[in-house]
């Protein structure tokens, strides 16, 4: 009976719309979740973690390219995001926006409801805390990706006035939510994650990779601080995450003949499993990895084997999805945490610590007996190594776009992206306003949300 209750409840929320949901509750024809198990089931629904994050950033990154015919036949959002053309990728009602906010609304319902559930014993309270912490974590993750897609980049000098995203934190869908400042968005993310750390279980949820743990929340805190360019704090949280769970996957143990070599549910590096919305253009066999990027992998670097496969007609396709299937990973994994801690150490001039983390990671990526530890003579040299390896390690995840927005403010890494689209050359210079996608027209027109430049 309880399972029927929460399924009906979720269907009303997601499929019927907020107005119909409110009418149904008012009519008394639906019983809302009433137990910890009900809310856990609601939190476990795949609509909160599968094909839910915006997915536009990965389309705009030049780690890959496609041919003119495939681009011309692609869906409108893909075409516009790929070519950095705001006149195309501004939709009337974009799923990259609405899907994430639907999931956020479900999180808000859980956050409000689970705190009213009686917890008469210790075990029930621990379980309720895990549900509350999980909802806070997922909402924070979605706020982060929405901010890095539709909000202005974090600029320390102007974050207090720059326009971020609407912070929808109420379970009442009728409450208005204007755009918050970028600073307010990250303050909300960080506060929710700090609370989540105190509520979530310390142990990795091996049998439930869509449930977060403390190390996942600490890692997301580190990512948030990295994006805010608060490198000392990012290093602290990355270190805290790795102290709880430092496991790396030895690529020597993988099957090179597998179509998708990374396990769907039991990848020991994955702290939290999540995936982006699926845009077919990026998954097409005509979409190939940048040849210079591919050639940057040494023949003894196993990522060359497990990330790439020969493409029909030449070039290479990507196959190294950390989801274990052909969807872009937008969760949290320990390899990212090692790289964040290494970057922060390099920026602090702690060369030994930066190289220790970088080499610990790479030693698990190369064929046994072939890896030679990297060296550096300065913090700047170490930083360049970390930035290079971060791109090579985390490509085809929903990370590079946020990194590019942040790094384009640093003259050492401020590249102009170049792409040929339909026979014409397109440029995306550092700090371009096109690093922020346009908000769907419907939100601007009906919700009164201010549009991006």
pLDDT, tens digit, 9 for 90 and up, residues 425-452: 999 999 999 999 999 888 888 888 899 9
- Give the closest residue to 149 by CA, choosing from 298, 12, 276, 25: 276
9 pLDDT band (50/70/90 cuts)?
very low
Helices (H), 251-350: 280-283, 291-295, 303-306, 334-347
Q: Is residue 405 part of a domain?
A: yes
282 pLDDT band (50/70/90 cuts)?
confident
Q: What angle do CA 116, 117, 121 make, to 5 degrees?
A: 130
pLDDT at residue 359, rounded to an integer: 98
Helices (H), 207-328: 214-227, 231-244, 280-283, 291-295, 303-306
> If 0-12 CB within 10 Å is exposed, 13-18 middle and 19+ buried, where does residue 96 land?
buried
Q: How far is CA 218 from the centre of its chain?
A: 14
Please give the structure tokens belonging to residue 41: 């089931």
179 in helix, strand or coil?
strand
Farthest CA pair distance, the chain: 71
DSSP β-ladder status, 179-181 and 424-428: unpaired
Given a contact cutoff of 8 angstroms between Cβ atoms, the answer to whether 271 and 333 are in contact is yes
- Give the closest residue to 164 by CA, choosing from 2, 149, 339: 149
> If 0-12 CB within 10 Å is exposed, 13-18 middle and 19+ buried, where does residue 153 land?
buried
- Structural domain including 240 reads 33-279+321-447
CA distance 121 to 124: 6
Q: Scanning the structure block, which residue is given the tokens 């890095």?
A: 148
Q: Is residue 410 part of a domain?
A: yes
Mean pLDDT of 221-225: 98
- Judged against a pLDDT cut of 90, whether residue 39 lies above it is answered with yes
Higher pLDDT, 30 or 333: 333
Containing 309, the helix (H) or strand (E) segment is strand 308-310
pLDDT at residue 344, rounded to an integer: 98
17 pLDDT band (50/70/90 cuts)?
very low
Higher pLDDT, 313 or 103: 103
pLDDT at residue 88, rounded to an integer: 67
pLDDT at residue 430, rounded to an integer: 94
Mean pLDDT of 180-184: 98
Cα-Cα-Cα-Cα dihedral sign, residues 128, 133, 134, 138:
positive
> What average pLDDT does the structure give for the chain?
90
pLDDT at residue 5, rounded to an integer: 42
193 in helix, strand or coil?
helix
CA distance 99 to 150: 14
Q: Is residue 300 part of a domain?
A: no
Containing 421, the helix (H) or strand (E) segment is strand 417-421
pLDDT at residue 90, rounded to an integer: 58
pLDDT, tens digit, 9 for 90 and up, residues 367-407: 999 999 999 999 999 999 999 999 999 999 999 999 999 99
Q: Scanning the structure block, which residue is given the tokens 């990895």?
A: 289
- Judged against a pLDDT cut of 50, whether residue 152 lies above it is answered with yes
Given a contact cutoff of 8 angstroms between Cβ atoms, the answer to whether 49 and 275 are in contact is yes
Mean pLDDT of 201-209: 92
Q: Is residue 195 part of a domain?
A: yes
% of the chain at pLDDT higher than 90: 75
The enclosing domain of 236 has a CATH number of: 1.25.40.390
Q: How far apart are the first and last CA of the chain?
A: 50
The total of structural domains in the chain comes to 1
Strand partners, 424: 421
CA distance 192 to 167: 12
DSSP β-ladder status, 163-166 and 64-65: unpaired
Given a contact cutoff of 8 angstroms between Cβ atoms, the answer to whether 237 and 208 are in contact is no
Q: Is residue 2 part of a domain?
A: no
pLDDT at residue 443, rounded to an integer: 86
Q: Is residue 48 part of a domain?
A: yes
CA distance 335 to 337: 5
94 pLDDT band (50/70/90 cuts)?
confident
Neighbour tally for 238: CB within 10 Å: 29
Q: Is residue 334 part of a domain?
A: yes
Q: Is residue 425 part of a domain?
A: yes
CA distance 102 to 17: 9
- Judged against a pLDDT cut of 50, whether residue 20 lies above it is answered with no
Number of helices (H), then strands (E), belonging to the chain: the values are 20, 10
Mean pLDDT of 279-286: 85
- Judged against a pLDDT cut of 80, whether residue 130 lies above it is answered with yes
Minimum mean pLDDT among 293-302, 315-324, 360-369: which range?
Answer: 315-324
């Amino acid at each position: 009976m309880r399972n029927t209750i929460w399924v009906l409840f979720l269907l009303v929320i997601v499929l019927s719309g907020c107005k119909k949901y409110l009418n149904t509750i008012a009519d008394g024809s639906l019983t809302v979740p009433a137990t910890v198990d009900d809310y856990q089931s609601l939190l476990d629904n795949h609509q909160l973690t599968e094909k839910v994050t915006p997915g536009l950033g990965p389309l705009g990154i030049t780690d890959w390219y496609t041919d003119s015919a495939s681009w011309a036949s692609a869906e409108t959002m893909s075409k516009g995001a790929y070519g950095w053309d705001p006149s195309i990728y501004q939709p009337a009602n974009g799923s990259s926006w609405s899907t994430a906010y639907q999931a956020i609304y479900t999180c808000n319902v859980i956050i409000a409801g689970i705190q009213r559930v009686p917890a008469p014993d210790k075990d029930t309270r621990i379980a309720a805390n895990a549900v509350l912490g999980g909802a806070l974590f997922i909402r924070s993750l979605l706020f982060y990706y929405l901010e890095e897609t539709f909000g202005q980049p974090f600029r320390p000098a102007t974050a207090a006035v720059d326009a971020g995203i609407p912070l929808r934190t109420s379970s009442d869908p009728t409450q208005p939510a204007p755009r918050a400042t970028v600073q307010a968005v990250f303050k909300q993310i960080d506060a929710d994650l700090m609370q989540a750390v105190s509520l979530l279980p310390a142990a990795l949820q091996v049998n439930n990779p869509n449930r977060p743990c403390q190390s996942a929340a600490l890692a997301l805190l580190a990512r948030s601080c990295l994006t805010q360019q608060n490198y000392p704090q990012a290093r602290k949280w990355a270190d805290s995450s790795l102290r709880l769970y430092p496991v790396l996957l030895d690529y020597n143990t993988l099957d090179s003949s597998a179509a998708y070599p990374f396990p769907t549910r039991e990848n020991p590096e994955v702290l939290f499993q999540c995936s982006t919305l699926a845009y077919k253009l990026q998954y097409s066999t005509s979409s190939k990895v940048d040849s210079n990027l591919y050639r940057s992998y040494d023949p003894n670097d196993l990522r060359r084997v497990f990330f790439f496969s020969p493409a029909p007609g030449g070039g290479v396709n990507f196959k190294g999805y950390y989801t274990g299937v052909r969807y872009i990973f937008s969760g949290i994994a320990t390899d990212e945490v090692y790289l964040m801690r290494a970057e922060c150490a390099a920026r602090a001039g702690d060369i030994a610590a930066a190289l220790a983390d970088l080499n610990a990671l790479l030693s698990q990526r190369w064929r046994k007996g072939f890896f030679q530890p990297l060296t550096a003579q300065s913090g700047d040299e170490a930083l360049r190594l970390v930035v290079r390896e971060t791109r090579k390690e985390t490509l085809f995840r929903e990370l590079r776009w946020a990194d590019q927005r942040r790094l384009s403010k640093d003259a050492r890494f401020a590249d102009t992206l170049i792409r040929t689209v339909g026979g014409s050359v397109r440029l995306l210079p550092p700090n371009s306003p096109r690093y922020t996608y346009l908000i769907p027209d419907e939100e601007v027109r009906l919700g009164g949300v201010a549009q991006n430049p």
